[in-house]
Amino acid sequence: MKRTLLNFKTLTTTFLTISLITSCSSDDTGINTETETETETETGEESRWITVAATKMGDEAGDGNGGTLIYSITSDEAKDPSVSISPFENGFTAPSNRTARLQSSEDGSTIFNISYAGDTGGTYTKYIVEGGQTFTQSGTEVSIEPYVGTAPRWIKLFDGDQTGAAVYVSTENEISDNGTELDTSDDYYVRTNATISVVTLDLENSLINNFQEHSVPLSDEEEALGYYISRIDMPVLNDAGDKLYIGARLSKLDPETTETESDYEILGSKTIVLDYPSLLNPSVITSTVGHGNTNGYRSINAFLYDGSVYQANQSDPEGSYILKIDADNEYDDSYVFNLDDALGVEGAYILAWRPATNGKAVIAYRHDGSEEGVAGAQGFFALADLNAKTATKIDAIPYDADFYLFQYQGFVVDGTEIYVTEAPVGQNGNIYVIDTETGEVTKGAELINEEGSHFIGTF
Amino acid sequence: MRISIVIITYLCANFTFSQAGQLTGTVVLENNSPVIHAHIKIIETNHTAVTDFDGKFKIKNLTYGTYTLIISTVEANKKSFSTTIDKEKNTLTINLKRKTNKLNEVIINGKSKETEKETSGYSVNVIKTKEASIRNIQTNELLNTTVGVKIRQNGGLGSNVTYSLNGLSGSSIKIFIDGIPTSIYGSSFSLNSMPPSMIKNIEVYKGVVPGYLADDALGGAINIVLHKGAKNNFNASVSYGSFNTVQASVNGLHRFDNSGLTIKASLFNNYSDNNYKVSGRTVVTTGIGGVQTPITARRFNDVYRSTGGMAQIGFTKVNWADQFFIGFTASDDYKEVQHGAFMTIRPYKDRFLESDVLLTNLIYQKKDFITEGLAININGLYGKRNRVVNDTVATAYSWTGERAIDYKGDEYEYTWGSQQEGGPTLAKIKRQVASIRTGLSFTINENHKVLINHAYNGIDREDSDDLLSVLENTFIGTRDLYKNIYSLTYELTALEQKLRASIFGKYYHQKTISIDPAIAEDENGNNIVVDEIVSSNNKDEGYGFATSYSIVPNITLLASAEKAIRLPDETEVFGNDGDNVVANPTIQPEVSNNLNLGFRLGRFKFKNHQFTVSSNFFIRDITDRIGLPIENSLNIDDELIVYVNQGNAKSKGIDAQLNYNYNTNLGLNFNISHFDLTTTTDAGTEINIPNTPFFTMNGGLQYSIKNPFHKKTQLNLFYSIYFTGEFSYLNIPEGVGGADFFKVPEQISQDLGISYAFSDKKTVMSFDIKNIFDKPLYDNLRVQKPGRAFYLKLNYTINNY
């Protein structure tokens, strides 16, 4: 009993100390922000919120299963290496059972979240960014779970923060009884039917706009071999705003046994094209340049620039490509931008990327030469030029074997500047601001890390 | 010194010349109940004996002649009489008259069977079911109030249950029915369906499990002991209550005294609509555009029904067997599923599970088998069990129980074609099961005992899905699992019974076989289906000890420790096609070093006050935890994920309980359990494992009134309170915002009960109110449990007719 009392005491003291520190520091930030906002209005200089996202370790270093934390500072603070922030001590835990997939408004004033898994999986919430750990929920909640399940793959479309789109695919094998219903010995595999669902969400009013489902076939030859669409993600609008592109991953089964295969020929990269906003008339387009998946992972994988959509692919045997889909809604196979070639490495794999308005992009990648860190392959940042099809590793950012970008999600684009976070698993790091125009890299605010945890970007 | 003398005496005794006889007997009271620990002394010789739990005693090497016996016990009046030994085996039944004078002034140092077990050195609780069987209490509810035990249940009656002992849960905890793993029986014959009246008691071994229950129980074992008596009895009960819950059970035993032929049968039936009210952040209806309106809803797809029973025929108390039974166990159940692991805005409709089991059983028990002091105990089962998941309805329903509307206002169906994501299913698992547990114990003398135990479990598993084509079903693999566990235990009682110790070793051998049909070419180049058979052998050892020392009869210190293991299950060995997990035949078992240190004070008596206090401190230190590696860019598209031994966990904490009685009519009990469950990083930092209810308290009060209205009647009043401390689904340190979302709030529930025994001594009526203040109770991130509920139960019992 004595022990317990002591524990309570220690706890209480710790709690009080922490809350004192926290309240002090958040007050400080609050004051700073206000003064800056005021000066901003007077001088007309632009400052915006930068929300830093970090993910806490569950029980394995780098697993990111212990919750997603966010913390906001102004862009001026973000660029100031004397500022240091510590989301694991005083951030805000995004309400999601597993790693949240966050999105932010283009000006950084609002964070959009759809809870991933758990009782509220699929529930959309919106938060007004007010600095520090203060994120004030605004508007009503709405759930897309009935349409795309509790673990939705969703993305905010680039239409002025109006719309979010989430997708889901379910598959079913079609087996023919060969005309003999009773004799099952001559049954054979015909194809695997993939049914995709797409839901669009009015982010402003928390309402569901539209929902459609379609069976999306591949070519007869591909289907006969057992190929099918097994995962879809990363919807993006075309320039005209009349088509929605959805990235896809293909899998293959053995038609003889209907069991999943593991070592098979990777087909040309594919994208599903739908009419927008009706979400009707699905078709599949195939690249002859890239091979591999176009569904990304947790970070937006396809962007509109200069009238075309640029899309990264993953698991390409030749290393990741950036593919181009033109205004005619077809792959531009004359556009060849291979990251292996551009960087002079083998097995480049784009983990996340983001172009600025000038066609220059920051790419988070790993390659075959990456060191194996605590949580997987070491990651790097590169500065790429979509027009020149060139890419250079950014050497001004320090790299560590434990610097791991697989779960990386967010880049803030502020004009031609791109904000990234760099912190190896379990080590402190910094925000870096890359001037895509000049290639100049500014070391910004310090990121205080925690054992086994890492930072997953800016919003 | 003492031991050697005993051994010499023992050896001498064996060499003694014949022309001497043996006297065995049973000491009973008027009502035929055995007298435990009665002392028998033969005046003319130095022979003495003490009766065992069944009131039996034995005196050997009595030269033919007539002797005077004196029987003394605290329970009854002293008795002396003479008897003649004139043959090799002489048997007696001695009837004693119960002492009625001022019994409360006699200090009783005899121990009940429960106390005997609880002071054997193990961290064990023996839960008596007698009182619960009269009241409206489920077996699981009874377990949940036991110190150190926490039940995580996903809803109301019949819903999925996981057991946690001192912080370890899931497959770390093994549940047995008379030493047979419940995985043999399946869900239809389980703690969810078995009425307490079928059960004699429940043993909960925490951390250290004795050899006779040997299994790969990493964190402990719960053993349900069924009634073993040989006395005629009949018991029937029926209960009705809230949520249209009906529970009925009948148990009976008849023994033909002449032949020893005994017939035993038990039947049970449970039904509940489980339509209790729920509310909360996900209980909403959705309108146009998905606009949500919170409601209070009644669960509408949660019906539970289970029916089952056991029938056995055999012989009891005959010269070749104390117990011999063969019989059948059969049961089936039906459980609708209202939601998945979490309560989301999307309730399920018409998803249900069905399971059934049909087993033949065999029981053989004999003390002094072949030779004196050797006891044998065999319990075997063989049969099959089936389980079907039925989810074929795509129609969306709302929490109102009506069809849901989509964002346009139209009724709709789910894309995935079923209620649970993942598509329609009629998945069926057929299992052939066999289990046999054999125990041999040899009592060398009252100080030394050796026990050898063997347990065999075999499960042949076959999966199919009626919604899949024959082609697809053909290529679904089968998984077989065979487990042999041997244990050797040595038990010592020394220093005038002050010291009790047992040491044991366990040897585990598990064979898992995977049969995966594949295509191959025969000699003519035609494709044929062949079975790819892979098998994996896992052999391992464990060992441990349990010891207790009584400084004085009512102060006992207890210590026990075990190197426990959990063998990898078939999925961990062979993977799972659906999840792209492939085989890792070299995977190692999880290992845990378990330690218990405790004391027991009591029973103390001051005038009319009696109390017992006990406490246990425990550590469970698990290494080689089995898990899946984290997803990263190298393996995201791989089909080559394997289970690996990667993690660790540690649980340490304390259990304590207090029992207090005043006179014979007021009883109070209270227990508290608190532990820290952590995992240690490579750098040595301990991190709390979230989603763990780590702090629980339970209290109970009972008051009996004798002859309240009529003579020979009794009224019992009960009050219980249950507390579960707040816990969180994620570790969120103080100072970080957004913590409320993940919290499962503190829960306090209170129950009231009353039972009345009628003057016929056969009928008891009970009325219980559960959760009297209708407080919200949760589990698993706010899965809600029933609110206030009322139950009435009628019991009818005839004993020794």
| pLDDT tens per residue, range A271-324 | 999 999 999 999 999 999 999 999 998 899 999 999 999 999 999 999 999 999
Q: Which residue has the tokens 């699905």?
A: A282
Q: Which range in A262-266, A408-412, B630-634, B644-648 is most confidently predicted, on average pLDDT?
A: A408-412
- The verdict on residue B106 lying in a domain is no
Of the residues B78, B100, B122, which one is the last residue of a structural domain? Answer: B100
Cα B179 to Cα A152, A282, B380: the distances in Å are 45, 60, 10
Q: What residues contact A412, with CB distance under 8 A and at least 6 apart?
A: A48, A50, A75, A104, A108, A418, A419, A458, A459
Decide if pLDDT at A192 tops 90: yes
Distinct helix (H) and strand (E) counts, chain B: 7, 46
**Residue in chain A nearest B679 by alpha carbon:** A59
Decide if pLDDT at B699 tops 60: yes
Q: How far is B343 from chain A (nearest CA, A)?
A: 5
- Are residues B798 and B697 both part of a single domain? yes
Interchain contact, A451 vs B685, CB within 8 Å: yes
Question: What does the alpha-carbon distance between residue A277 and residue A275 come to, in Å, rounded to a whole number?
Answer: 6
Condensed to tens digits (0 to 9), the pLDDT of residues B724-736 reads 999 998 889 999 9
Q: Which domain holds residue B64?
A: 17-100
Of the residues B100, B127, B142, which one is the last residue of a structural domain? Answer: B100
Give me the CATH number covering residue B38. 2.60.40.1120
Question: What does the alpha-carbon distance between residue A276 and residue A240 come to, in Å, rounded to a whole number?
Answer: 10
Neighbours of B521 (CB within 10 A): 10
Alpha helices (H) in A297-356, listed in sequence order: 339-343
DSSP letter string over A340-385?
HHHHT-SS-EEEEEEE-TTSEEEEEEE-TT--EETTEE--EEEEEE
| Predicted local distance difference test score (pLDDT) of residue B635 | 62
Phi, psi of A145 (to 5 degrees): -55, -40
Nearest to B220 by CA among B206, B231, B234: B206
Mean pLDDT of chain A: 89
Alpha helices (H) in A100-195, listed in sequence order: 145-148
Q: Which residue has the tokens 């109970």?
A: B700
The model's confidence at residue B16, banded by pLDDT at 50, 70 and 90, is very low
Nearest to B687 by CA among B733, B734, B644, B654: B733
Total domains present in chain A: 2
Amino acid at position B738, single letter: G
- Cβ-count burial of A185 within 10 angstroms (0-12 exposed, 13-18 middle, 19+ buried)? exposed
Alpha helices (H) in B33-128, listed in sequence order: 113-118
Question: Can you give the pTM of this predicted structure?
Answer: 0.84
- Are residues A334 and A374 both part of a single domain? yes
For an interface test with B, give the residue of A3, A15, A257, A406 to mutate (most B CBs within 10 A). Answer: A257
Q: How far is A171 from chain B (nearest CA, A)?
A: 8
Q: What residues contact B314, with CB distance under 8 A and at least 6 apart?
A: B261, B262, B264, B321, B323, B324, B325, B326, B327, B363
Q: How far is B730 from chain A (nearest CA, A)?
A: 6
Condensed to tens digits (0 to 9), the pLDDT of residues B308-354 reads 999 999 999 999 999 999 999 999 999 999 998 889 999 999 999 99
- Are residues A52 and A41 both part of a single domain? no
Q: Which residue has the tokens 């009050």?
A: B719
- Are residues A331 and A415 both part of a single domain? yes
The residue ranges of DSSP E strands in A17-156, in sequence order, are 49-55, 68-74, 84-85, 92-93, 101-104, 110-114, 123-129, 135-143, 153-156
Q: What whole-number percentage of chain B has pLDDT above 70?
A: 94
Question: What does the alpha-carbon distance between residue A295 and residue A301 come to, in Å, rounded to a whole number?
Answer: 7
- Are residues A50 and A33 both part of a single domain? no
List of chain A residues whose C-beta atoms are within 8 Å of the C-beta of residue B686: none
Q: What is the mean pLDDT of residues B602-628?
A: 92
Q: Which residue has the tokens 């039936």?
A: B269
CB B235 within 8 A of CB B796: yes
| Predicted local distance difference test score (pLDDT) of residue A12 | 44
Q: What is the CA radius of gyration of chain B?
A: 29
Interchain contact, A143 vs B291, CB within 8 Å: no
- Are residues B118 and B220 both part of a single domain? yes
Give B101's DSSP letter. S
| Whether residue B603 has a cis bond before it, omega within 30° of 0 | yes
| Predicted local distance difference test score (pLDDT) of residue B114 | 76
Decide if pLDDT at B18 tops 60: no
**Residue in chain A nearest B343 by alpha carbon:** A119
| Predicted local distance difference test score (pLDDT) of residue B108 | 44
Question: What does the alpha-carbon distance between residue B606 and residue B201 come to, in Å, rounded to a whole number?
Answer: 29
- Are residues B77 and B150 both part of a single domain? no
- Are residues A124 and A193 both part of a single domain? yes
Q: Which of A242-256, B60-74, B95-109 has the lowest mean pLDDT?
A: B95-109
| Predicted local distance difference test score (pLDDT) of residue B643 | 84
3 state DSSP class of A296: coil
| Predicted local distance difference test score (pLDDT) of residue B53 | 74
Phi, psi of B198 (to 5 degrees): -80, -15
Q: What is the mean pLDDT of residues B780-796?
A: 90
Question: What does the alpha-carbon distance between residue B368 and residue B370 come to, in Å, rounded to a whole number?
Answer: 6
- The verdict on residue B62 lying in a domain is yes
The model's confidence at residue B39, banded by pLDDT at 50, 70 and 90, is confident
- The verdict on residue B207 lying in a domain is yes
The model's confidence at residue B518, banded by pLDDT at 50, 70 and 90, is confident
The model's confidence at residue B100, banded by pLDDT at 50, 70 and 90, is low
Total domains present in chain B: 3
pLDDT top residue among B376 and A100: B376
Q: What is the mean pLDDT of residues B254-283?
A: 95
Give me the CATH number covering residue B156. 2.170.130.10
Q: Which two tokens stand for residue A34?
A: 């206000």
pLDDT top residue among A169 and A60: A169
Decide if pLDDT at A38 tops 70: no
Cα A116 → chain centroid: 13
The model's confidence at residue B576, banded by pLDDT at 50, 70 and 90, is low
- Are residues A147 and A218 both part of a single domain? yes
The model's confidence at residue B578, banded by pLDDT at 50, 70 and 90, is low
CB A454 within 8 A of CB A440: no
Decide if pLDDT at A29 tops 70: no
| Predicted local distance difference test score (pLDDT) of residue B579 | 59
- Are residues A338 and A190 both part of a single domain? yes
Question: What does the alpha-carbon distance between residue B216 and residue B509 come to, in Å, rounded to a whole number?
Answer: 10
Nearest to B651 by CA among B206, B190, B344: B206
Smallest Cβ distance to B738: which of A94, A149, A261? A94
Interchain contact, A257 vs B517, CB within 8 Å: yes
Taking CB atoms and an 8 Å cut-off, how many pairs form between chains A and B?
Answer: 210
- Are residues A65 and A22 both part of a single domain? no
**Residue in chain B nearest A143 by alpha carbon:** B290
| Predicted local distance difference test score (pLDDT) of residue B64 | 84
**Residue in chain A nearest B686 by alpha carbon:** A59
Amino acid at position A16, single letter: L
The model's confidence at residue B681, banded by pLDDT at 50, 70 and 90, is confident
- The verdict on residue B340 lying in a domain is no
CB B720 within 8 A of CB B698: yes
Question: What does the alpha-carbon distance between residue B588 and residue B593 come to, in Å, rounded to a whole number?
Answer: 16
- Are residues A121 and A38 both part of a single domain? no
- Are residues B65 and B145 both part of a single domain? no
Interchain contact, B580 vs A260, CB within 8 Å: yes
Do the bridges between strand B39-42 and strand B65-72 make them parallel or antiparallel, or are there none, so unpaired?
antiparallel
Decide if pLDDT at B451 tops 80: yes
- Are residues B70 and B132 both part of a single domain? no
pLDDT top residue among B186 and A276: A276
Decide if pLDDT at A16 tops 50: no
Neighbours of B150 (CB within 10 A): 23
Question: What does the alpha-carbon distance between residue B362 and residue B378 come to, in Å, rounded to a whole number?
Answer: 8
Smallest Cβ distance to B519: which of A175, A256, A261? A256
Q: Tell me the torsion sign for CA atoms B106, B107, B110, B115.
A: positive
Decide if pLDDT at A440 tops 50: yes
Give B628's DSSP letter. P
- The verdict on residue B83 lying in a domain is yes
Strand partners, B433: B383, B459
The model's confidence at residue A187, banded by pLDDT at 50, 70 and 90, is confident
Condensed to tens digits (0 to 9), the pLDDT of residues A378-415 reads 999 999 999 999 999 999 999 999 999 999 999 999 99
Strand partners, B794: B238, B765
Decide if pLDDT at B546 tops 70: yes
Interchain contact, B633 vs A377, CB within 8 Å: yes
Question: What does the alpha-carbon distance between residue A210 and residue A198 come to, in Å, rounded to a whole number?
Answer: 8
Q: How far is A63 from chain B (nearest CA, A)?
A: 6
Question: What does the alpha-carbon distance between residue B1 and residue B407 come to, in Å, rounded to a whole number?
Answer: 87
Q: How far is B467 from chain A (nearest CA, A)?
A: 11
- The verdict on residue B758 lying in a domain is yes
- The verdict on residue B344 lying in a domain is no
- The verdict on residue B210 lying in a domain is yes
CB B239 within 8 A of CB B250: no
Nearest to B654 by CA among A7, A3, A5, A11: A3
pLDDT top residue among B111 and A334: A334
Decide if pLDDT at B161 tops 80: yes
Of the residues B201, B226, B251, which one is the last residue of a structural domain? Answer: B226
Q: What is the mean pLDDT of residues B142-171?
A: 90
CB A241 within 8 A of CB A307: no
- Are residues B694 and B800 both part of a single domain? yes
List of chain B residues whose C-beta atoms are within 8 Å of the C-beta of residue A197: 415
Q: Which of B211-220, B436-445, B519-528, B762-771 has the lowest mean pLDDT?
A: B519-528
**Residue in chain A nearest B637 by alpha carbon:** A315
For an interface test with A, give the residue of B408, B464, B469 to mutate (most A CBs within 10 A). Answer: B469
Question: What does the alpha-carbon distance between residue B627 and residue B679 come to, in Å, rounded to a whole number?
Answer: 13
Question: What does the alpha-carbon distance between residue B76 and residue B99 come to, in Å, rounded to a whole number?
Answer: 4
Mean pLDDT of chain B: 88
Q: Which domain holds residue A120?
A: 46-458
Smallest Cβ distance to B731: which of A66, A258, A374? A66
Cα B29 to Cα A301, B48, B316, B328, B621: the distances in Å are 84, 20, 20, 34, 49
Q: Which residue has the tokens 């379609």?
A: A214
| Predicted local distance difference test score (pLDDT) of residue B103 | 39
Mark A357-393 as b/e (b = at least 16 C-beta within 10 Å).
Answer: eebbbbbbbbbeebeebbbbbbbbbbbbbbeebebeb
Q: What is the CA radius of gyration of chain A?
A: 23
The residue ranges of DSSP E strands in B367-447, in sequence order, are 374-390, 427-443
Neighbours of B302 (CB within 10 A): 26
Q: How far is A40 from chain B (nearest CA, A)?
A: 28
Question: What does the alpha-carbon distance between residue A404 and residue A375 come to, in Å, rounded to a whole number?
Answer: 7
| Predicted local distance difference test score (pLDDT) of residue B10 | 40
Cα B22 → chain centroid: 40
